Amino acid sequence: MKIAEEVAREDDQVAGRPHASGSLSGSVAAVRFDLTVRYPAPVHGVAAHVREHVRERVRELTGVSVENVDIDVVGLVPAQRPAPRTGEEDRP
């Protein structure tokens, strides 16, 4: 499930390290994720994107077809904001 976790982390709206569990039967897998999403990203949209991305990338990387991806959003964290400018960057 480590590959699925790394693939899920490729989405910038996923915060922290996702936890994945699942099952494999031959070359078909089912995966369940616990994800933390960066607020105010749309939770439904993030889940849909992660679901599709995991299906595609895991198949590309391993040849395993991921038939089912269940996602539990277990937390929301504020999106990281850029550091405020102090104006000192512009001084020679």
Residue 80 vs residue 41, higher pLDDT: 41
pLDDT tens digits, 34-61: 999 999 999 999 999 999 999 999 999 9
Asked if pLDDT for residue 18 goes beyond 60, the answer is: yes
Q: What is the pTM of this model?
A: 0.82
- Three-state secondary structure along the chain? CHHHHHHHCCCCCEEEEEEEEEEEECCEEEEEEEEEEEECCCHHHHHHHHHHHHHHHHHHHHCCEEEEEEEEEEEEEECCCCCCCCCHHHCC
Asked if pLDDT for residue 4 goes beyond 60, the answer is: yes
